[in-house]
Amino acid sequence: MTRKQKKMLYRILAASVLFVVSLLLPVTGPAQLAVFLIPYLVIGWDVLWKAVRNIMNGQVFDENFLMCVATVGALIIGEYPEAVAVMLFYQVGELFQNVAVSRSRQSISALMDIRPDYANMERDGQLVQVDPEEVAVGGTIVIKAGERVPLDGTVLEGVSALDTAALTGESLPRDVAPGDEVISGCVNLSGLLHVRVSKPFGQSTVARILDLVENSSEKKAQAEHFITKFARYYTPIVVFAALALAVIPSLLDGRWGTWVPRALNFLVVSCPCALVISIPLSFFGGIGGASRQGILVKGSNYLEALAQAGIVVFDKTGTLTQGKFSVTAVHPEEGMAGSELLKLAALAEQFSTHPISRSIVDAWGGTLQQDRVTSVEEIAGHGVRAVIDGRQILAGNWKLMDRENIPITSDHDHLGTVIHVAVEGRYAGHLVIADQPKETSAQAVAGLKAAGVRQTVMLTGDAERTAQAVADGLKLDKYYAQLLPADKVERVEELLAEKSPKEKLVFVGDGINDAPVLSRADIGVAMGALGSDAAIEAADIVLMDDDLLKLTAAVRIARKTLSIVRQNVVFALGVKLLVLILSAAGLANMWAAVFADVGVSVLAILNASRMLNVK
């Protein structure tokens, strides 16, 4: 608890003791009023002052005004214990509310721990701590074991493991070595790292994330806007209704002692605290719970929209698949070993920077021996011709084999890119290179279906057969192949036209090449966005790593949040309406009114607080 909350707790305890003493003292008349005024003022002086101050500022109808009118009215008509009890229980509810809001803020502000306090720079042979904002791009910083990475950059020296849990929610460390990119906000677990800074602090990953989280509360959900407007009109209506309940029947039958207490009960019940606090608290808790799992939601409105997701559209490469080529099959001809075929292809391709060439070299895994290659010729659109150990090696597509009049004697029907290899004019076999689905993609698609998503769709520029194989393997409902970037926007437009009015369309991409589609969808989700400026800017929801299961978690969190919001609205309005009717009919006393106000608020806040512990 904060210092302010502790002071309030002590006031509540002191007022409670004084209230019990007041109940036990055998006093009547003016002396009784004086005795009960002591606990009343101890617990309620700040509410009275806020009401006066707000009235002076033109803000009349709020919960402070309602409490003042109700309790002062109770004192005037001689209901001294009830007046103190209403104010006491109101303050108990306020304390409970403050503690719950503090917890919800802590769940998000825990992310603020990722902000680095300093950066180490080497000056005159010594390490000096400087403000990260003072470090220029191109400068070199030193990160010791246990320290937080203060700025984005590239490792120059050192080998270590980085803890990315604060950003991604994952506990598995990430190994880095010279040449690897590191991002701010991670913790260096072991070795000493020298890093060349690539971005100023204001544009670093940690600065962008902190800005996103701090501003998330500004984008309110429709439910929050509704409650704000509801309270604005609801409060003055019930005040005038209570005034009418007190005056009109009393003028007709003269029973002021009957109708005024009923009107006061009516005022106590009408306080909209339960809704005004519990609904934002639910969304705040949902955003905080998501952030702890590496899911950054830019506002309550996006969390509310995600809860209504009916169609989820995926980009294929880098989202459903790994986004990098790998050798999936090696098919040597008779007389040629598979390892030898792979080695010859790797040696021939070692000078190329093409992703397919790099995948062949990586699959071989041996030490590159450039001295064995005496000449290399890259033939655009076909492949490479190289002389290795005095032998001419060809590695490329079927066009290269056709051009060199080398018959392909065995070409299986493969999904992916086929690289044919020939040695001294004779066909030696072929390699199959493909982009493989991520391990969690199928599980994530199934999880979305289980969470209530009606349709899953894949968009890709790949050939029809490749797209169909991926879609069938992941059990997607629909796919569109051979698409250009502009075609993807058109397909999303078609899907938006087909969906029902209550459904939302979610597009999931890598946030770099998919900005037009991300912005066109109802909700744009960028995944694998660790360190990607474009992803953080373009998307409404950011998954900080490549785990597609985070999307399933995000949908479940969103739906649970909206479910709790609906529960609180129905429960609070239902109980209040019932007790309002009973109060007007004289069937509910001040204690029932206290429960309808404070009790409902506490229960609604407790219900909303469940989002703070979401798993």
For residue 219, pLDDT over 70 is answered with no
Q: Quick one: pLDDT band at residue 166, thresholds 50, 70, 90?
A: low
CA dist., res. 316 & res. 508, Å (int): 9
Residue-by-residue DSSP string for 522-567: SEEEEES-TT-HHHHHH-SEEESSS-THHHHHHHHHHHHHHHHHHH
Q: Which residues contact 423 (CB under 8 A, 6 or more apart)?
A: 336, 344, 391, 392, 393
Say if residue 454's pLDDT is above 90.
yes
Averaged pLDDT, 113-122:
81
pTM of the model: 0.69
For 351-370, the pLDDT digits (tens) are 887 778 888 988 888 877 78
Say what the pLDDT of residue 438 is.
85
Higher pLDDT, 481 or 455: 455
The pLDDT value recorded for residue 65 is 79
283 or 452, higher pLDDT: 452
- Dmax over CA atoms of the chain, in Å, equals 118
- Among 308, 329, 564, 554, residue whose Cα is nearest residue 436: 329
| 205 close to 183: Cβ distance less than 8 angstroms | yes
Residue 308 has pLDDT above 80, yes or no: yes
- Say whether pLDDT at 155 is over 70: yes
pLDDT at 189: 87
Task: Provide mean pLDDT across the span 274-288.
Answer: 75
Contacts of 17 (CB under 8 A, 6+ apart): none
Mean pLDDT of 184-210: 84
Q: Is the pLDDT higher at 428 or at 262?
A: 428
Mean of the pLDDT values across residues 39-52?
A: 91
User: Does residue 315 have an active-site annotation?
Assistant: yes
How high is the pLDDT of residue 114? 65
Inter-residue contact 256 to 77 (CB < 8 Å): no
Reading the block at residue 341, the tokens are: 């075929």
pLDDT at 524 exceeding the cut of 70: yes
Q: 86 CB contacts (<8 Å, ≥6 apart)? A: 67, 70, 71, 74, 268, 590, 593, 594
Q: What is the mean pLDDT of residues 338-347?
A: 91
Q: Which of 62, 152, 163, 315 is catalytic?
A: 315
Whether pLDDT at 348 is above 80? yes
Query: What is the spatial distance between Cα 181 and Cα 203, in angstroms, rounded to a whole number?
Result: 15
Q: Alpha-carbon distance 128 to 152, whole Å?
A: 19
Total residues belonging to the chain: 615
Q: Reply yes or no on whether the pLDDT at 108 is more than 90.
A: no
3-state secondary structure of 198: coil
State both tokens at 42.
């101890």
pLDDT in tens, 537-588: 667 888 877 788 989 999 999 999 889 888 888 888 888 788 878 877 878 7
pLDDT of residue 529: 62
pLDDT the model gives residue 217? 53
Give the C-alpha separation, 265 to 554, whole Å: 43
Q: DSSP E strands: which ranges in 119-254?
A: 119-123, 126-130, 140-143, 153-157, 160-163, 174-176, 181-182, 187-188, 193-197
d(CA 394, CA 498): 50
What stretch of H or E contains 238?
Answer: helix 222-253
pLDDT in tens, 374-393: 888 888 778 899 999 899 99
Distance CA 4, CA 12 (A): 13
- The answer on pLDDT for 350 being more than 80 is yes
